[in-house]
Structure 1
Amino acid sequence: MKFVIQRVLNASVSIIETSDDNKTSERISGFIGKGFLVLCGITKEDTFEIADKMIKKLLGLRIFEDENGKTNLDLKTVGGELLIVSQFTLCADCSHGNRPAFINAARPEQAIPIYEYIVEECRKAGFMTETGEFGADMRVDLTNDGPFTIVLDSDDLKTNSVDSGSKILDNLSKETAADVLKTCFKLRGAEDFGEAINEVIIDIRRICEAKHVCLLLVDKANRKCSMLAHSHSDDTNEEWIDWRDEEQFRLVETWTNIVPDDSSLIIKDVADLQKINLKNPAWYKSLTKAHVYNIVLCPLSFEGELIGYIWASNFETSKTERIKETLELTTFFLSSEISRFRLLNRLHMLSTVDLLTGVFNRNAMNDRVDSLAKDKSNHPLGVVFADLNGLKRVNDTKGHEAGDILLKNAALILQGVFIGYEIFRAGGDEFFVLLKGVTKEEVLNKVSELREAISSNDSVSFAIGHSYVESANEVLRAFHEADESMYADKRKFYMEHKELDQRRG
């Protein structure tokens, strides 16, 4: 992946469109003031993990001057904005002949999700982020802000994991290496990753002969932790810690000030605990409260990015070096497997979730309907269609950004009413809800709740249709009946609101 980053006073991107009679016109797709214009090239080898690293580097670049004229300020400090434009020609291979080859560029079906992810992550980080249109004919205009043009290449951010693993193996006893390799191979090709990782952690605790081993994932973007797996002996007196708590995430953040990036932290005894107390009193308090009297803690990193920690606690101190070796080799294998698992999960999410509204998308809906049509369990099923009134009118009069806000608000209302049920965005302005295992009365009550919710909302209005069948495998009939019911409700809406042009939304 490559970013060409230009520091600008302002920049814009226009989409060039050609009509049927070959007349061209331009419309501005994105405009920013002070900030970065970023040309983004995505290759076949790129992943979401690589995108995360590039985003982190981009947003952390300190190339704005402070009051002393030194480039010490980053984009956030100066209130800068981002204009990110896709540019597949950055992936050109000019090594053979004079005609560039673009074989390394990712195909649209791979590149678009990664490009959209980069944009969305920058917005989540709090930056006003404008874009062009992927694959469109575009013209970029800019006003430079001094001599700052930087090429950021993901290849420069990679570490040689093979060399790292070799160094670890060189320092290990053959016995420890064999044990760790044997258990970590369980992850390769495992059908159930969660079950396999639990088995691995149980084995690692056995190898370490520790009272407790824990594998914790860290999500910096969303500021949360999650325990992926843990194992404890029956006779442990360690107290349970809920790592999902925001306070615990803030505690974990402080570990980076104590734990070396490429090594382990060892706390063997009371003296070591007292050293921690001087450096990090909050963690010392947490350790002593949980009855931890010794610990070996290793960071898990993948391509230079911290993804979590693994630790063993309450063990025989004579085995400290063996435990350190065990955990360091374990992190070498686990980091890549966990990153692969997270990538697959993220790809699954992108293929099934509507990124704008956060509900399931049409692909997920089609798969679910097909599954229900084959369901022989005879569970009753309710279906609700909700067609958003006025979306086209808002897009035409206020712009697509206002239309996106309307769609998000509509989804939030549905999520507030249909808690615990499956909600899908079936099309541009159509939403679809499945209520499995309910009574007809419960479906009607939910429809009433939805009507009440939109009656008190000034912007969101739905045409609503619903249906109920005694068996889920009749989902197609329910689908058809709910669709007809929805269109009847839509006709009624426009009869009551004749001032609105039905053709416009």
Structure 2
Amino acid sequence: MASNFYEQMKTLANSFTLPCTVLSVEKNEDGSCGDVRFFAINDLFKKSYYDLFTSNNDTSVIDYENFHLEIEGKLYHTQIPKEPNFEDICFRAAWQGEHIHVYVDTSKMYGFWTENILMPINHSCQENISYCLFMYTLNEEMDTGKYSSIPPDISSFVLKTCLELRNEKDFYSSMDIVTSDLREYTDSFVACILSLNKERKTFEIISEAMRKRDKLPYTVRDIFSNIPYRIVASWEKALSKTNSIIIKNSHDLDVLSKKAPEWVNSLKEHDVYTLALVPFIHQGEIIGYLYLTGFETENLVKVKEVIELVAFFLTSEVANHLFMEKLEYLSNIDVLTGVYNRNRMNTDVDEFSTRIKLNHQPFSVAFCDLNGLKTINDNEGHSTGDKLIKDAANLLKEIFGGDNIYRAGGDEFAIISFDKTEEEFIGKINILREKASDPHWLNFAVGYYYDAKGHSLRKAMRYADERMYKDKKEYYKAHPEKRR
């Protein structure tokens, strides 16, 4: 009987003009998907499998005529990566009688986009084994015609999303609306969009939405504020062989834990057992993610299709946002030290001066000029001088964190503060004098001015600058060998 069934399935597979295999799908005692095996393959599947998955092996020792014996009866992941999403659609086709047609980006795994067709086979030889038919086509580039063949409700939602992205709202407002709509459409507990900055090892929650009926006292940003960057960075490794991560139960979490154990522990701590994660990939680099949790597994196909499509369109928006952020960063930040540059200082001085005229608020300013930098550059080289400048900036950030710190010139820094009393600001100045008093390395000439009535910022800066030069003269009087 078993042999007859195999012959029947072999004949069935060979009746199709696409690469085709009959898959045997095991059901575990807990109702989850067990082993998925190639049961019977057609000649086109054998040829495709031979060409695609033996390219890195010595094929001269493999007899092509009997190559089907290397495939049939074997686990599907014997020579290809194990893929929970693939197992899920096989299980649904074999055990739930679903006809499934999906077009997915499998370029990370195989270098191709894949169109998958699965159909149930009504037969039962064993009570824990069922069967489905699996066919596929491969495309080196995305076939937009196939990718756009989606259910009307999904296409309508994606079109609405695209229109929202093209409106006149600012970036964050548009992202908030898209995220809220996506959360509602998928009936998820949480939906969020986040971006990555790999250089600075940071991430930003661009937008978030949480189901209102749960009425929880925290937000998505609150949750992620306790998650270190290294966990978010581990997502890329988890995605190394797949183009999205779909978690539908604790079994999938256990599989994921082999690649990202710390992340999985964090998910379990927050009672997350259903999750969808799709990366934004721009020029081969992951620049952010679309992240959903708490959806009903019955909606898995709908969730997967819609988030992958939405992510496709969101990628360009996030990439453009990051590009504009980088331009703004480069135009305002001193690259060597990470504090504001002179261009930003001039802009802020104009803005602060106008604000002070309208509202006479107290403020403090200080100028801090490195003593002996030229001597270090001349004797030890400019790379050592650059290190001194960075050390100086780091000390200022440590002491004056929260204030506006600028690199006003090569060895000169300026500080503008609005939130300190005179006593508080002088206290910080004294700490700076104490920590930057090494005559052979980090030594600041410091001048400051406190304006209790908020008269003129530019005058205050001139007074502070004059005091700084007096302090510098005292330094060179004590250390004439350091004079420039």
Residue 430 of structure 1 and its aligned partner are, at CA, apart by 1.1
Corresponding position: 1:332 with 2:316:
no
Distance 2:389 2:186 in 1: 53
Residue 300 of structure 1 and its aligned partner are, at CA, apart by 1.6
- Checking the alignment, whether the CA contact within 8 Å between 1:180 and 1:204 is kept in structure 2 is no
Equivalent in the alignment of 2:173 = 195
Whichever of the two has the greater Rg, that structure is: 2
1:227 partner letter: I
Equivalent in the alignment of 1:364 = 344
Residue 359 of structure 1 and its aligned partner are, at CA, apart by 0.9
- Checking the alignment, whether the CA contact within 8 Å between 1:224 and 1:244 is kept in structure 2 is no
Greater relative contact order: 1 or 2 (C-alpha under 8 angstroms, separation 6 or more)? 1
Distance 2:327 2:447 in 1: 32
Picking from 459, 465, 478, the partner of 1:496 is 478
Question: Percent of counterpart pairs with the same letter?
Answer: 35
Residue 246 of structure 1 and its aligned partner are, at CA, apart by 4.2
Q: 1:363-403: CA deviations, max 9, x gaps? A: 00000110111111211111101111111222222221111
Residue 316 of structure 1 and its aligned partner are, at CA, apart by 2.9
Equivalent in the alignment of 2:456 = 474
Equivalent in the alignment of 1:344 = 324
Distance 2:254 2:378 in 1: 66
- Checking the alignment, whether the CA contact within 8 Å between 1:223 and 1:249 is kept in structure 2 is no
The structure carrying a bigger helix percent of its residues is 2
- Checking the alignment, whether the CA contact within 8 Å between 2:451 and 2:460 is kept in structure 1 is yes
Corresponding position: 1:305 with 2:288:
no
Distance 1:406 1:277 in 2: 44
Q: 1:299-343: CA deviations, max 9, x gaps? A: 221122212222333223332222222111111111111111111
- Checking the alignment, whether the CA contact within 8 Å between 2:235 and 2:260 is kept in structure 1 is no
User: SS of the counterpart of 1:309?
Assistant: strand
Corresponding position: 1:249 with 2:227:
no
Q: How many residues align?
A: 338
Distance 1:245 1:343 in 2: 24
Give 1:391-470 correspondences, 5 Å limit.
391-455=373-437, 458-470=440-452
CA gap of 1:335–1:168, structure 2 versus 1, over 3 A, is farther
2:452 partner letter: E
User: SS of the counterpart of 1:378?
Assistant: coil
1:443 partner letter: F
Give 1:45-60 correspondences, 5 Å limit.
none
Corresponding position: 1:229 with 2:207:
yes
1:426 partner letter: A
Equivalent in the alignment of 1:176 = 154
Distance 1:463 1:272 in 2: 61
1:316 partner letter: E
User: SS of the counterpart of 2:476?
Assistant: helix
1:463 partner letter: A
2:322 partner letter: R
Equivalent in the alignment of 1:317 = 297
Find runs of 4+ consecutive structure 1 residues off by over 6 angstroms.
none
2:347 partner letter: D
Equivalent in the alignment of 2:164 = 186
Distance 1:277 1:473 in 2: 61
Give 1:30-69 correspondences, 5 Å limit.
none
Distance 2:319 2:351 in 1: 30
CA gap of 1:426–1:190, structure 2 versus 1, over 3 A, is farther
CA gap of 1:167–1:208, structure 2 versus 1, over 3 A, is farther
Unaligned runs of 5+ in 2: 1-112, 114-140
CA gap of 1:272–1:449, structure 2 versus 1, over 3 A, is closer
Residue 285 of structure 1 and its aligned partner are, at CA, apart by 4.2
1:175 partner letter: D
Distance 1:418 1:274 in 2: 46
Distance 1:223 1:400 in 2: 28
Distance 1:234 1:210 in 2: 11
- Checking the alignment, whether the CA contact within 8 Å between 1:165 and 1:329 is kept in structure 2 is no
CA gap of 1:479–1:274, structure 2 versus 1, over 3 A, is closer
User: SS of the counterpart of 2:291?
Assistant: strand
Distance 1:306 1:319 in 2: 27
Distance 1:467 1:246 in 2: 40
User: SS of the counterpart of 1:356?
Assistant: coil
Residue 168 of structure 1 and its aligned partner are, at CA, apart by 7.0
CA gap of 1:269–1:171, structure 2 versus 1, over 3 A, is farther
Distance 2:298 2:350 in 1: 59
User: SS of the counterpart of 1:297?
Assistant: strand
Equivalent in the alignment of 1:295 = 275
User: SS of the counterpart of 1:231?
Assistant: strand
Distance 1:457 1:204 in 2: 60
Q: 1:256-278: CA deviations, max 9, x gaps? A: 245x23xx333344554555467
Residue 223 of structure 1 and its aligned partner are, at CA, apart by 4.1
Length-normalised TM-score, structure 2 = 0.63
Distance 1:277 1:438 in 2: 48
Length-normalised TM-score, structure 1 = 0.61
CA gap of 1:406–1:284, structure 2 versus 1, over 3 A, is closer
User: Is the deviation greater in 390-399 or in 168-177?
Assistant: 168-177
- Checking the alignment, whether the CA contact within 8 Å between 2:353 and 2:456 is kept in structure 1 is yes
Distance 1:177 1:317 in 2: 21
Equivalent in the alignment of 1:266 = 246
User: SS of the counterpart of 1:455?
Assistant: coil
Residue 473 of structure 1 and its aligned partner are, at CA, apart by 5.5
Residue 455 of structure 1 and its aligned partner are, at CA, apart by 2.3
Residue 216 of structure 1 and its aligned partner are, at CA, apart by 3.3
CA gap of 1:381–1:272, structure 2 versus 1, over 3 A, is closer
Distance 1:392 1:284 in 2: 53
Distance 1:478 1:323 in 2: 59
User: Is the deviation greater in 424-433 or in 224-233?
Assistant: 224-233
CA gap of 1:484–1:298, structure 2 versus 1, over 3 A, is same
2:461 partner letter: F
User: SS of the counterpart of 1:374?
Assistant: helix
Distance 2:331 2:411 in 1: 19
Equivalent in the alignment of 2:468 = 486
1:353 partner letter: I
- Checking the alignment, whether the CA contact within 8 Å between 1:227 and 1:243 is kept in structure 2 is no
User: Is the deviation greater in 442-451 or in 367-376?
Assistant: 442-451
CA gap of 1:257–1:435, structure 2 versus 1, over 3 A, is same
User: SS of the counterpart of 1:499?
Assistant: helix
